[in-house]
Amino acid sequence: MRTLAQKLLHKLLAEGERCAAGVRSRPPALKALDLADYRNTVSLKDKDEFESIMRAARAQGAVRLVWDQGSVNESAPDDFIERVNLATLTSLADFLGERSRGDIQAEAVALLSSQFDSFPVLVQLCERWALLRTVRRLGPESAQAWLDAIRVIVFARGLREADAIALPIREASYRIFKDTKRLEKLAPAVDVLLYNDLDALPRPGDEVWKEIGLFREEQPIRLAGNVTIKRERLTATLDTPYAAFAATSLLGIVDVPEHVTTIENLTTFHSEARRQCNERCLLIYTGGTPSPAWRAMYRRLIASIPDSVPVRHWGDIDEGGYRIATLIAQDSNHAGKILQPWRMHPDDIQEDLRRPASEGTVARMSRYALSAGWPEISAAVEIAKMTVEQEGLA
């Protein structure tokens, strides 16, 4: 009965938290159905044990007890508790040896408030927590993890400014936290901060780390096409069906290709590489979300070609695909080029390949398409309300 009493008081505490957060309107209380096991007991010892816990909670100002016949005072020995009303939320939390959600929330806000200007999404995060909701399964007790995630992003930005744009993830973790494994646990929070959106589609950890220049195993840049590339030690035409090199070794394009097209997905890149390896074009695999090393390489390559050469991107028609396009568009603009979409307009997609998208997903897709400099696609996305993966179009 002691365990039952504590379990029910924890339930009462949870109901009180929901009421305090405004997500429950009825006053929190334990009623007959909740108290059924206690009220049906035939053991005087069990009855006394349950009631002693409830009396102790009442003595601490946590609850108010209503006995049979509506009495709020001690009654006859044969009477049972009929109802347990919440008296004071913080007193009940103290009685149970817990901190109230409100106290944890207030502490989290205090910890994160200094970062609100730099990371505005944290304001929305605290508002979500106030409604007793989590983000990526992280509640207000995880506030320190969000501060640690900010440290990771600031550290990665420092790497880029120092041109050290690729670092093994465990080495970075030790540099920041003196713990080689701490950083890997922060992927959900880092992902949200990079997106600046609580509801963005979660990405695998490796995709998150790659965006800021961290890696488990460094990947080469894959290129395809019948063009000559200037490298650190050699200038030569690409092999068939494709070639792969370290990002830092790629310095420029010697020929004038008919187009330069970046491709988000590996399956699509391989199929297009086989098909176009003898054509005067350059295909570049982004590796999903492009890393800082990839982006620096891309800027060097497209800066070396005339402005008349079309620079295109082919990726998924979903929020991740359009966000990747936004990043590449920034690099294209940096090199004085305008990134053009390739097979990324909803009208290009046949009906049987379309998948319906939620309003939130559509809004994010539209926003990213607009950021990429594609207003026509942005508007079309809002009308089509669909997604499709690139592999389905190859």
Last residue of a domain, one of 95, 118, 153: 95
Q: 44 with 8, same domain?
A: yes
Look up the CATH number of the domain holding residue 250. Answer: 3.40.1360.10
| Tally of domains within the chain | 3
CB atoms within 10 A of CB 12: 23
Please name the residues in contact with 87: beta carbons below 8 A apart, sequence gap of 6 or more: 58, 61, 62, 63, 64
The answer, yes or no, to whether the previous bond of 241 is cis (omega within 30 of 0) is: yes
Question: 215-234, pLDDT tens digit by residue?
Answer: 988 889 999 999 999 999 99
Same domain as 317, residue 242: yes
Q: pLDDT value at position 390? A: 53
Domain identity same for 120 and 263: no
Instruction: Give residue 203's pLDDT.
Output: 94
How far apart CA 205 and CA 173 sit, in angstroms, is 14
Among 51, 71, 95, residue at a domain's last position = 95
Query: pLDDT for 164-183, tens place per residue?
Result: 668 899 999 999 999 999 99
**What does each C-alpha distance from 182 to 25, 148, 154, 171 come to in angstroms?**
41, 9, 16, 11
Condensed to tens digits (0 to 9), the pLDDT of residues 145-158 reads 999 999 999 999 99
What average pLDDT does this structure show over 116-128?
Answer: 97
Helices (H), 136-236: 143-161, 169-177, 187-195, 205-211
Domain containing residue 208: 101-215
Tokens of 308: 């008349």
Q: Percent of the chain having pLDDT more than 70?
A: 97
Q: Which residues of 330-367 are buried (b: 16+ CB within 10 A; e: fewer)?
A: ebbeebebebbbbbbbbeebeeeebeebeeebbbbbbb
- pLDDT tens digits along 79-115: 899 999 999 999 999 999 999 888 999 999 999 999 9
Task: Give the pLDDT score at 160.
Answer: 79
- Letter string b/e over residues 13-37, b meaning 16 or more CB atoms within 10 A of that residue's CB: bebbbbbbbeeeeeebbbeeebbee
Categorize the per-residue pLDDT at 393 as very low, low, confident or very high, splitting at 50, 70 and 90: low
Give the per-residue SS3 of 221-237.
Answer: EEEECCCEEEECCCEEE
Would you say 384 and 345 are in contact if contact means Cβ atoms under 8 Å apart? no
Given a cut of 80, whether residue 391 has pLDDT beyond it is no
The overall pTM is greater than 0.85: no
| 388 and 258 housed in the same domain | yes
Which of 95, 130, 157 is the last residue in one of the domains? 95
Task: Kindly write down the DSSP assignment for every residue of 53-64, as one continuous string.
Answer: HHHHHHHTTSEE
- State the average pLDDT for the chain: 93
Band the pLDDT of 287: cuts 50, 70, 90.
Answer: very high
pLDDT digit string, tens, across residues 14-70? 999 999 888 888 899 999 999 999 999 999 999 999 999 999 999 999 999 999 877
* Nearest-angstrom CA–CA distance, 9 and 6: 5
351, pLDDT greater than 60: yes
Same domain, 66 and 140: no
Residue 331 has pLDDT above 80, yes or no: yes
Pairing between strand 221-224 and 243-245? antiparallel
Predicted local distance difference test score (pLDDT) of residue 69: 79
Residues 73 and 107 in one domain: no
CA dihedral over 120, 20, 92, 3, signed as positive or negative: negative
Q: Residue 262: pLDDT band by 50, 70, 90 thresholds? A: very high
Mean pLDDT of 202-218: 92
